[in-house]
Structure 1
Amino acid sequence: MPRQPRLDAPGALHHVMGRGIERTNIFRIDRDRDDFLNRLANQCMDGNLIVYATSIYWFGPVVSLFPGV
């Protein structure tokens, strides 16, 4: 079933999400990932983008990311 057209009005809130198909990596090389993160940071600093939530996916040994929490 196709998605409905998004509301595209001035001041409308948009939720943007990107993920790899079948859990594949979005970025093939570190340079591309770093470039994306730098561009995202610049948009935040310019006031064009507000980040209100983040997601962290951790693959590796089980460790405490926030000791004491």
Structure 2
Amino acid sequence: MREITEKTTSEVIAERLLQESKILLRHTEWNVSEIAYSLGFKEATHFNNFFKKNMKMPPMRFREM
């Protein structure tokens, strides 16, 4: 993976999860827990932490923008 994309497998997966989460936040009325579980997070707090780490803002703030 790294030879082709110059990214680790974990980075590629994280980018894809982040892309999907932004789409769901923009285009659905699902709450954060529903989005978290649909993306495979066992806890909504794990999703919140993942989103904040990568976007520098909580999911609900992103949705409000």
TM-score (norm 2): 0.29
Task: Looking at secondary structure, tell me which structure has more helix per residue.
Answer: 2
Q: Relative contact order: is structure 1 or structure 2 higher (C-alpha 8 Å, sep ≥ 6)? A: 2
- Bigger radius of gyration among the two: 1
Give me the TM-score of the superposition, normalised by structure 1. 0.28
